[in-house]
A and B are shown apart, each in its own frame.
Chain A
Amino acid sequence: MKILVVDDFSTMRRIVKNLLRDLGFTNTFEADDGKTALPMLKDGSYDFLVTDWNMPGMTGIDLLKAVRADPKLVNLPVLMVTAEAKREQIILAAQMGVNGYVIKPFTAATLREKIEKIFERIDKAGA
């Protein structure tokens, strides 16, 4: 399972990476905004994307749009972990095809639950 963690704050990338490690995912990579992340996703054969929303350069929602517009990445599971909490923003992310949405500050249990839910759904769809 190859995972890309995108956030402009290195502390948050570190937190997410550590939590993923606790969940047994050790093959994780980092990017600090959508602009850096997109080329990595395009030639990296990633299985899962965890992204922030508000980032300089390219935001997480634009990254999500770009991912869903790419035939190779269209089915990539995307979890948004962000401080953006306006209802209209959550609805927009859902419309853009996000697979999960976690608002900061979050707990380890919440992140674990959302990730497990996403993979459960993928397993069901695959079976």
Chain B
Amino acid sequence: MMESMENTRLLLAKDLVIALENNDETKADEILDQISGMRESMLFQEVGRLTRQLHDTMNSFALDSKMVELTSKDIPDAKERLHYVIAMTEQAANQTMQVIEDLSPISQALNDQANELSNKWDRFLAKDMPFEEFKNMSQEITAHFAQTKERVANVQAGLTDILMAQGFQDITGQIIRRVIDLVQEMEHSMVELVRLSGGKMKAGVVAKELELPGPVVPGVDDRENDVATNQDDVDDLLSSLGF
């Protein structure tokens, strides 16, 4: 291409010399126009090339700023979120084990008391119990009923606490999903970066879908002060709306 252009220019120059030697002004002007036209088209090509280069640079710059945001904001956020997941799972595990540790002696005591009374009751049925002991046993049975009611109520409350502690699975699941999304986004950006540095043209960056903010992670999501951090906040807000 370049060679044929050089060739054409050489031929045109020779023609120009001939035209000038022959005093053919019209022909000479015509050839000069042709040569300058060629120069212009080369200039346009060059401008086009520069424009493309600028466009690519701008694109890679946009990607750079995305990477900057990922590294400076999203990754520290993700770390905070994962720390919160550890804290929540730890809390749930401790809450559950605490209830079990509290309830085990209660269950053991109920069992011991029932066994003791059951043995005495068998002796009573076998008519193997003096009256004085029977009187004591009736008192013990009365006390046993009262204690059982109280202890079973404690067990019931503990079971509800264990149930509530399992709420961590939903919350941490939602948080981990978000971190997975971030990892995917990073993967996408890095692939684009590799592609760009390889000099190939890249497709447009996929627009991120607008998503729901999800569980509030303390220190990450409450910085803007636009979230309700507890149920009282929610209740205050709703009552200010006439609820």
Using a CB–CB cutoff of 8 Å, the interface residues on chain A facing chain B are 7, 9, 11-12, 14-15, 18-19, 22, 53-54, 59, 83-91, 94, 101-108, 110
Contact = CB atoms under 8 A, between A and B. Distances in A.
A104 B166 contact: no
Nearest to A99: B243
Given A18-B163, A22-B160, A54-B174, A102 B169 contact: no
B209 to A, nearest CB: 12
Contacts of A11: 166-167, 169-170
Given A88-B226, A102-B231, A106-B231, A54 B212 contact: yes
B226, B234, B238, most chain A CB atoms within 10 A: B234
A83, A85, A94, most chain B CB atoms within 10 A: A85
Contacts, number: 86
A44 to B, nearest CB: 24
Contacts of A15: 163-164, 166-167
A73 B66 CA distance: 46
Given A9-B170, A103-B228, A105-B167, 10 more contacts: A7-B170, A11-B167, A15-B167, A85-B215, A85-B234, A87-B227, A88-B226, A89-B213, A90-B228, A108-B164
Interface in B54-103: none
Nearest to B160: A108
Contact of A110 (B228, B231, B243): B231
A7 B166 CA distance: 15
A18 B165 CA distance: 13
